Amino acid sequence: MAKIGIGKAINAGLRRAMERDAKVVIMGEDIGKLGGVFRVTENLQKDFGEERVIDTPLAESGIVGTAIGMALRGYRPIVEIQFDGFVYPAFSQIVCQVAKMRARSLGKIKLPIVIRIPVGGGIGAVEHHSESNEAYFAHTAGLRVVACSNPEDAYWMIQQAVECDDPIIYYEPKRRYHEKGEADLTAAAAPRPLFEATIARAGEHVTLATYGPMVKVCLDAATVAAEEGKSIEVIDLRSLSPLDLDAVATSVEKTGRLVVAHEASTFLGMGSEIAASVSEKCFYHLESPVIRVGGYNLPYPPSRLEEEFLPDLDRVLDGVDRALAY
């Protein structure tokens, strides 16, 4: 087991994917000589050359458009969007072209593009540098959307995403890049399938479903709740499109209660879809309404106010208490 951060784990996963397949290329702003603003691609250009690790102009629409052309020519491009709020200039390319080409061709055209996006807040950044825009892309048919939360998943999921013939939005929790955890990066490891949820902590009284940067918050909440005699089962969704609703439903059938937590606004967020789907699938098992915990329905605030905006341990525990109040 290696002790490694998420950023370094993704770097190692990218390196492994590039060693395995010469058609894998990486493109993005400042990803080459600098190694990216978070240093996730550090040393890759030095080792693989400027033709495979490409520093691009500051033009997200052009970067994604170029990736589309390369994918059509047999390459497997990995695009880095420098910050989550910078993806919007490429929005048309992603939802109008990337998401639709394979369906339009009835599967004859493969579009193996991975679009890496550092997501979420908590780093004290300026405007446009902290967003939680996953619902836009999860809503878009034809895109697959995944979110890693720990180093081991980060390492394996990026490789699985590169190997997938469908376009994938790959979310990375930017405030967790440098938090270290144990990870099995050996060839003997058996990684979980890319689009499967996992039980991050078993429990009996409440199911707490979450993903990405909120997984650590929810695990901390479960630890605190256990001191008060409340047993919380934490589900790390890992994949947002497709959603592994069977895993959530199985847990809810056991606990009878569900809280969904994410950094994005609760209004029309991922929690809304999960709440509706679980209410349909588990209506006769639910002992209380599904509770959503998330950011407020506001533009992301200035950095000095982000701690008030982001759901924290206390807000998650309040959601658990509300679910148990029935």
Catalytic residues: 129
Compute the distance between CA of residue 122 and CA of residue 72 in angstroms, rounded to an integer.
37
The strands making up 114-119's β-sheet, listed across from edge to edge, are 53-55, 24-28, 76-80, 114-119, 168-173, 144-147, 239-241
Helical H segments across 6-105, by residue range: 6-20, 44-48, 60-72, 91-92, 101-104
Compute the distance between CA of residue 178 and CA of residue 194 in angstroms, rounded to an integer.
23
Task: Report, in angstroms and rounded to the nearest whole number, the Rg of the chain calculated over CA atoms.
Answer: 19
**Distance in Å from the first CA to the final CA of the chain:** 43
Beta carbons of 247 and 196 less than 8 angstroms apart: yes
**Core vs surface per residue 183-221: b (16+ CB within 10 A) or e:** bebeeeeeeeebbebbebbebebbbbbbbbbbbbbbbeb
